[in-house]
Amino acid sequence: MTRTRSPGPQSVPLSASLSVLVLASAFASGTAFAQGAAPVGNAEAGQAKASSCIGCHGIPGYKASFPNVYSVPMIAGQSAKYIESSLVAYRKGDRSHPTMRAIAGSLSDQDIADLAALYGSK
Amino acid sequence: MKPSKMHTILRHAAAAAVLSSVAFAAPAADVAAGKAKADTVCAACHGKDGNTPIDPSYPKLAGQYRDYLERSLLDYKSGARKNAIMAGQVQPLSRADIENLAAYYASLPGSMRVKR
């Protein structure tokens, strides 16, 4: 192998290198965009994932007891997008409730979308 | 013990029971004042009826449990719940405002329910 017969990177014209870079970054951002797109929720899949929810939210008048005593909210019929943003906020730590943080912390974006589809209204 | 003495003790006990039940009873919220506050502060986003938010990412409030609504507002105010919009909205609310708003929205007919 000799340098003269097999051009190294230095011999590639600058404009071609730039094009490759531009294409690569466009592809990368396209991929990032695809990952950022919200997963589509499926209510049936949500039903299979709701076992952590029904123990509290499925009991009329059930009260959370820690760290404050108050009724756990009604979530069936709530805005689906709000259910999603609430679960994301618990997962991220923007909401402090310990039980909900633990549960939301175990949920993927797809899980959250499925639960929102199950409980929420459009 | 003389009957009169026993009687006095019972009367004191009864009075104490009445006083403590007053002390521990939930403070009387003013639903009308809650509505007045809601119409000026909350309705623009959560809907005039509390059930038709202007953005799908905003919650319905109508018919939600009163103590949950109160807790949510208190948590936004303390920072236990972080949301840029709500943090600004609750900042000027007093404890009484929060109690009144919670009582008002809980009193409205809503579409939320408990799903078993």
pLDDT digits (tens, 9 = 90+) for A48-61: 999 999 999 999 99
- What is the CATH number for A81? 1.10.760.10
Q: Is the pLDDT of residue A78 over 60?
A: yes
> Using 50, 70 and 90 to split pLDDT, how confident is the model at A46?
very high
How does the average pLDDT of chain A come out, rounded? 81
Could you tell me if residue A102 is inside a domain? yes
Alpha helices in chain A (DSSP H): 14-36, 43-48, 51-57, 80-92, 98-105, 109-119
Q: Is the pLDDT of residue A38 over 80?
A: no
Q: Which two tokens mark B95?
A: 């404890």
Q: Which of chain A's residues have a Cβ under 8 Å away from the Cβ of B60?
A: 77-79, 82
| Spatial separation of the C-alpha atoms in residues B33 and B93, rounded to whole Å | 12
The confidence score (pLDDT) of residue B10 equals: 61
Domains of chain B: 27-107 (1.10.760.10)
Entry pTM:
0.74
Q: What percent of chain B has pLDDT over 90?
A: 74
Amino acid of residue B95: R
Question: With an 8 Å Cβ cutoff, are A78 and B71 in contact?
Answer: no
Q: Is the pLDDT of residue A6 over 90?
A: no
Selected residue with higher pLDDT from A52 and A34: A52
Q: Is the pLDDT of residue A17 over 70?
A: no
- The number of distinct structural domains making up chain A is 1
> Which of A73, A77, A84 minimises the CB distance to B68?
A73
What distance in Å separates residue A85's CA from the closest CA in chain B? 7
**What domain range includes position A60?**
43-119
Tens of pLDDT, residue by residue over B68-79, are: 999 999 999 999
Burial of B36 (0-12, 13-18, 19+ CB in 10 A): middle
> Using 50, 70 and 90 to split pLDDT, how confident is the model at B43?
very high
DSSP A40: P
- Residue A63 region, left (φ>0) first, then alpha (ψ -120 to 50), else beta? beta
The answer to whether residue B100 neighbours chain A at the CB level (below 8 Å) is: no
Q: Is the pLDDT of residue A79 over 70?
A: yes
| Spatial separation of the C-alpha atoms in residues B69 and A33, rounded to whole Å | 36
Q: Is the pLDDT of residue A8 over 90?
A: no
Could you tell me if residue A15 is inside a domain? no
The confidence score (pLDDT) of residue B26 equals: 58
Could you tell me if residue A22 is inside a domain? no
Question: With an 8 Å Cβ cutoff, are A80 and B56 in contact?
Answer: yes
Q: Which of chain B's residues have a Cβ under 8 Å away from the Cβ of A76?
A: 112-115
DSSP A95: B
Q: Is the pLDDT of residue A16 over 90?
A: no
Question: With an 8 Å Cβ cutoff, are B112 and A74 in contact?
Answer: yes
Say how many C-beta atoms besides its own lie within 10 A of residue B115's C-beta. Answer: 15
Could you tell me if residue A115 is inside a domain? yes
> Which of B53, B65, B71 minimises the CB distance to A79?
B53
Tens of pLDDT, residue by residue over A94-118, are: 999 999 999 999 999 999 999 999 9
CB B98 within 8 A of CB B70: yes
> Using 50, 70 and 90 to split pLDDT, how confident is the model at A37?
confident
Mean pLDDT over residues A18-32, rounded? 45
Q: Does the complex come out with an ipTM higher than 0.90?
A: no
Could you tell me if residue A83 is inside a domain? yes
Selected residue with higher pLDDT from A64 and B9: A64
